[in-house]
Structure 1
Amino acid sequence: MSALIPRPVTQVAPGAVHVPNWLTLEEQRRLVAACRGWAAGPVPIRHTRLPRGGVMSVQTVCVGWHWQPYRYTRTAGDVNGARVAPFPHWMVLLGRRAVLRAYDDREAADAYTPDTALINFYDGQATMGMHQDKDEESSAPVVSLTVGDSCVFRFGNTETRTRPYTDVELASGDLFVFGGPSRYAYHGVPKVRPGTGDPATGLRSGRLNITMRVAGLTDTWPAPAAAGAR
């Protein structure tokens, strides 16, 4: 995406806001370095296996809480049994800045305290089907950051995986926040655009997507009786 063509901040749906070019290049480098560290462990990055046997095309690593279909735990029983890396305070501050930028609401930003993040790495062929982020006990907004290659981000409605939806081009440095009426909207990534990222971020190829959430859980949280939809 050419820097000569400004991309405006857009409200894609009520509570869903796209802020282009929000991260500085230095912030993107810091995120890439942090994600590389988390990818190495204590719970390494992996292709998540779904309950029915399918394997996700993206690679995922978690901090704060470990996501496995379709629940959060502190330890990764589906990988190596280790406790996930802690959620760093600098990411809490980043999440609050993101909510303030998206909603221009200081009270909401100050109250936002993310405690988990899913980091998904997309190579040129990886996709993500339409799903809801609903395994969290909290309905606080999801803060999504993109570093690396651009993608088509499909943002839908709260009732169905099908239309109506809006396709948004997310480029490196972009912020997307969805909460309020759009918190449980279906969304996915049907396409990544290889070769569109800037190697100066520290990522030569592929797309990193960092999604911060508020799990709303405690260490004694029990596993749900039934799997959710994702």
Structure 2
Amino acid sequence: MEIHWPTAVAQAVNFLVLVFLLKRFLYGPVIRAMDRRERGIAERIAAAERREAAARREAAAYQEKVREIEAQREALLAEARTAAEALRKDLLREARAEVEELRRRWRRDVERERADFLARVRRELARMALAAAGTVLRDLGGPPVEERIAEAFLERLAALGDEDRRRLAEGDAGEVEVASAAPLPAGLRDRIAAAVQEITGPRRIRFTEAPDLVAGLALRTPEVTVEWNAADHLQGLDERLEAALSAPEPTGTPG
């Protein structure tokens, strides 16, 4: 086959011109458009990746904040529970202390009322005994009760030991008090003053009244006290009365 060179050269030139035209007016714009599109896509992908990274960072920060808030909540709850428990214990301790104080006051009041009641009963019994003794002595023609009490006091005064006598004799030169439940007749005061001054020397005797003695006499100085009280003989009765008051009440009647 014989090649027709002018035609071949013309075709080659036409092909090259076609390629140049395609590249110049078709391929170039298309490629540049594709490049621009690819760069736009790449930029959008990069922007999306940046947004995703930012979202991940925000999510991580949010999760960290949630964990911090949860930790703070737990700490606050624990602190609140601790404070509530401490407050409960304080309130219980204060309530127990208040109840114990009320119980002590109640016991103290009960003991005081019991002591006051026993003292009143003791004084009343002593007065009753004294009145009964006075009636018996009058019926028997004996001396008055006041004289019998004075005799008992003078006997106790005469029975003082040497040490007590020395202390009375060497004590303060002030007055000596002689107390009685009721005013003493002048004759009895004179007898008692003489007996006291035999021991104390010429010290002034001051007679006073002391209802707590009920039926008795008492010599009182800063050094020595000498006392005779008819109520002392009711001590056994006091103890029996207090035991009766302290005994529990029966809970029922035996069948």
* Length-normalised TM-score, structure 2: 0.19
The structure whose residues are more often helix, as a share, is 2
The structure whose residues are more often strand, as a share, is 1
Larger radius of gyration: 2
* Length-normalised TM-score, structure 1: 0.21
